[in-house]
Amino acid sequence: MTNPSSRIVFLFPGQGSQAVGMGKDLADHHPVARQTFEEADEALGYKLSQVCFEGPEEKLKLTEITQPAILTASVAAWRVLREKGLRPDFVAGHSLGEYSAHVAAGTLTFADALRTVRNRGKYMQEAVPVGVGAMAAILGMPFDKVSQISQDAAQGEVCQPANINSPEQVVISGHAGAVGRAIKLATERGAKKAVSLPVSAPFHCSLMQPAQDRLAADLGALGFHDPSCPVVCNVDAALVDSANASREALIRQVTGAVRWEPSVRLLINQGAGLLIEVGPGKVLWGLMRQIDRSKTCSTVGDEASLQKTLEQIAALAA
């Protein structure tokens, strides 16, 4: 597609998009998707495919299984799109999804990404004892106000914006006490809603420093390539186009905030015409509707959504 306002962007989901059965429909219809799950089973040394397709949900929810599971389902969907001749002009991913984006851009091999995100999940889980940290979603309050509330609630503890998801949604992360105080302050200061999130650790804040240090050693040992198309990195909401910048961004991402809304706005400024959520769920599609409803956004997670997206692309090209 040569029209700059019809540029195609692939968006890859992060943790929270998992569901039992994910990827199975595409694996049943497309050998390349089935092969992706087989590769994952081999790289990890256990039947990840079985956990994705059949559950149990409790197992799929374990962070060190969730992360490679979502990555695999996303890469399977991306490979099906690639087989259909679809090449993105840009790629981006939400937190964990940034690894899927780098696999799609050729920065990292699928097997390396799988083993890395399994360890990433493990390190994040082990960085903070269970119950010490917490996360909360603040809805219907602008980022600068949420940022101020986080500072006011900290009182010597950690409380930081962790996900700048949309104009409607900012997630905060830190010590359980501080996050609790922030929920109370947000409610008092006019947030539409402030709710604690059912997460196993306080992701994307400075409490994750031990996980970041361990992951930095792993990423430092891996071979990175320059991406074949620009990748938007969460931590800066900026385009990375080199191997070193990609590695550095993935390291800093562990303690840094996921700047999703600024990332999407950057893509829109770059001429994004069609944004496709590639992988399980519709979380990013939902956020897109809060950021800019004028853009065409679709999802590819199963055979029905794939066919619908291919029809959309054909209509845009006509």
Q: Which residues are catalytic?
A: 95, 204
The span from the CA of 245 to the CA of 121, in Å, is: 22
User: What is the chain's alpha carbon radius of gyration, rounded to the nearest angstrom?
Assistant: 19
